[in-house]
A and B are shown apart, each in its own frame.
Chain A
Amino acid sequence: MPTRFTAALGAAALLAAVLVGPAHAHGGHDHGTAPPPVSTTIAPRGEALSDAFELVAIPRDGTLMLYLDRFRTNEPVPGATVEVETPEGPRTATATQEGGYALPAPWLSKPGRHELVATVTAGDAVDVLTVAVTVPDPKVSPAAAPAPAAPTQAVMGRVSEVAHGVRERLGQKDPTLVASIAVAFLLGMLVTAAVRGRRSTPAVALLAIGITLVLGTAAFAHGDEDHGAPVQGAALIEPRPSAPATSDLAQRLPDGSVFVPKPTQRLLVLRTTMTEQGSFHRSVELPGRIIPDPNASGVVQSSVGGRLSPPPSGLFPRLGTKVRKGDVLASVAPPVQAIDVSDMRQRQGELDQQIAIVERRVERYRKLATTGAVAQTQLDDAQAELVGLHDRRSALDKARQQPETLVAPVDGVVAQATAVAGQMAAPGAMVFQIVDPNRLWVEALSFDALTAAQNATARLADGRTLKLAYQGTGLADRNQAIPVQFAIQGGASGLRVGQFVTVLAGTDAEQSGLALPRSAIVRTGNGQDVVYEHTTAERFEARPVRVEPLDGGRVLIAEGVGPGKRVVTQGAELLDQVR
């Protein structure tokens, strides 16, 4: 019995060897996908970073192409002087049309590692950058490298195939497999018996024959079967022989990062910004409208109904005319009704009559007063009565002649004018509106009670923004909202009263985080928000982030990216499309 038991163990060991071996051969590979390594499709290149610049050097056809960008913004730096230390002494690279710099470099044809020093002068910024470029040996092509491993790989590939077949048939309870196991069991018995008999040499031979038989049987059995699955171990396929690419292609690397060569970055206009931690006031968007400053605008109204006539200059001020406070803009002559005219005539006659009587009385009293026959008080009374009568008479004359003058209440520009000569103005009707175009306000409607809003800005339809200063909030309800008023600071030229604006008002709620433009956030296929971090000169890595709303143009990164990172703010959507 122990012999059989050992034989069973031997069979199990053999089977295990067949099954486990290929698994080992497959370890760590990703089937089917396995893209060629980066280095075979991307030309050799070197890059250098400083706090001001980012330099990428690409040797190609005896020329060294240099791409210089700003470190923080990824903006190309045109018009810079790039001097490279070559074995032939310092040489200055010439600017190319694509925005790069080219340097003829025959010395770069020598394979190996070249460490270069580039002196960059752009404006008043000077930087010395060290960049290393490795030129591959053309005799040792990248495809030749895996060649020595080929025989081993072939064996492993075969073993892998066998194992695949065995595993498949194990699932199907294949009679061939059962037979193989039985043969293996018998062989195991034989081997054990041989070992017990201490005839070691035949035992080894038997063992070898046994293994060959098992493998052979399995391989044979595998042959007459049709299996649709492709040959396992795509990783064993030799990588495509790399033709010398004329230009590098943007691609997504196996680790998920995106490789974008500098020329492509220029085409996509990729721009970055450095993330900075800060605290921000959350802002709300309110619909608003431009109104004139109540303290710098006014209306001209007629207090009486009457006929409008132009001011002494003979012309009504027209729209846009500049007026000063106190200028006469028009006059209103109140009309006199027919009944009033007869009434006035009557009063006039009466007054004239009384005046004549009182005049004579005053004359008489004056003579008599000297003699003492008439008291001085009587003379004074008569004189006062005469003055009063004269006043009333002249007032009656004026009432018919003097119209009401309409004067400008403030300095400004005539914003609205309805005056036409001869027009009858109703009492209280607005004849002119005067607005100071440099002093305008914005009235917005807020649905929340906005406390002294700070950092308010107004955005116009054309994209311009105006800085606003909070003035006050009304309490009276208007369309379920309350009016909030802001004064426009700085120039208000080009604005008109009544224009619609969007007011962005900061609230008291303070949030801390990293503020980024909305365009930096990309929503991926699985619905996750990511930003692209510029990790090295030509690599971008997606970073999942949690964003919170901040204002119209920016969002707050609450988590996912730390400060001091370069994040793509322009062209992130395009970057996300790179496959």
Chain B
Amino acid sequence: MILPKLTLVVGLLAATGVSAHETAGQHGGRVTDAGKFHVELVAKGETVDVFLSDGEQKPVPANGFKGTAILVVGGKPARVPLEPADGNRLTGKANASLGDSPKGAVQLTGPDGATASGKFN
């Protein structure tokens, strides 16, 4: 029951225009909660990197994970499939440059098939 509440809180924060929840990550991206994980989104040029860590900010190996990032660029949604790379990093490439801190969401499917998603404003 914590997660819907969390989603709600994130949504409400988004609604009020306050993004106090998002914090700066270790890789210079934005961090948000996705299920039991913390995900950090780093969008640079056309490359999307997602770093996975657990509740205590300890890296979680990205092996076995699949993901999709949907980011709004210039008023159009861009769908970026993410593949596991080295360490706790999943990476993907978009068709166009993503610009500075695009808003959107990241959906992750774990090795057990469980899904988790996090929203970035």
Q: Any chain A CB within 8 A of the CB of B60?
A: no
- Please choose the segment from B41-49, B85-93, B107-115 that sits at the chain A interface, where 4 or more of its residues have CB less than 8 A away: B107-115
Check B8–A50 contact: CB distance below 8 A: no
Q: Any chain A CB within 8 A of the CB of B24?
A: no
Check B17–A115 contact: CB distance below 8 A: no
* Chain B contact surface mostly: strand
Contacts of A87 in B (CB 8 A): 109, 113, 115
Check A126–B79 contact: CB distance below 8 A: no
Q: Which residue of B lies closest to A114 (CB)?
A: B115
A71-93 contact mask (Cβ, 8 Å, vs B): 1 or 0: 10000000000010101001000
Q: How many angstroms between the C-alpha atoms of A531 and B115 in the bound complex?
A: 39
Shortest A74–chain B CB gap in Å is 13
Q: Any chain A CB within 8 A of the CB of B15?
A: yes
Shortest B33–chain A CB gap in Å is 10
Check B8–A116 contact: CB distance below 8 A: no
Q: Choose from B8, B15, B76, B115 the contact partner of A115 (Cβ within 8 Å).
A: B115
Q: Choose from A48, A49, A50, A121 the contact partner of B77 (Cβ within 8 Å).
A: A121
Q: How many residues of A contact B (CB 8 A)?
A: 30
Q: Which residue of A lies closest to B115 (CB)?
A: A115
Tell me whether A112 and B109 are in contact in the complex, defined as CB-CB below 8 angstroms, given that A126-B72, A126-B77, A128-B77 are known contacts: no
Q: How many angstroms between the C-alpha atoms of A129 and B3 in the bound complex?
A: 14
Shortest A252–chain B CB gap in Å is 21
Check A128–B114 contact: CB distance below 8 A: no
Q: Which range contains the number of B residues in contact with the other chain?
A: 20 to 34
Tell me whether A117 and B8 are in contact in the complex, defined as CB-CB below 8 angstroms, given that A51-B15, A85-B70 are known contacts: no
Check A112–B105 contact: CB distance below 8 A: no
Identify which of residues 104-159 in chain A touch chain B, using a CB-to-CB cut-off of 8 Å.
110, 112-117, 119, 121, 124, 126-132
Q: Any chain B CB within 8 A of the CB of A241?
A: no
Identify which of residues 75-121 in chain B touch chain A, using a CB-to-CB cut-off of 8 Å.
75-77, 79, 103-107, 109, 113-119
Check B7–A119 contact: CB distance below 8 A: no
Tell me whether A128 and B15 are in contact in the complex, defined as CB-CB below 8 angstroms, given that A115-B117, A116-B115, A117-B105 are known contacts: no
Q: How many angstroms between the C-alpha atoms of A132 and B12 in the bound complex?
A: 15
Q: Any chain A CB within 8 A of the CB of B26?
A: no
Shortest A136–chain B CB gap in Å is 13
Q: Which residue of B lies closest to A130 (CB)?
A: B117
Q: Any chain A CB within 8 A of the CB of B29?
A: no
Check B7–A132 contact: CB distance below 8 A: yes
A47, A112, A130, A131: which has the most chain B beta carbons within 10 Å? A130
Q: 21 A-B pairs, CB-CB below 8 angstroms?
A: A46-B4, A49-B14, A50-B11, A71-B15, A85-B68, A87-B113, A115-B3, A117-B68, A117-B105, A119-B77, A126-B77, A128-B71, A128-B72, A128-B119, A130-B107, A130-B117, A130-B119, A132-B3, A132-B117, A536-B8, A564-B16
Residues of A with Cβ closer than 8 Å to B?
46-51, 71, 83, 85, 87, 90, 110, 112-117, 119, 121, 124, 126-132, 536, 564
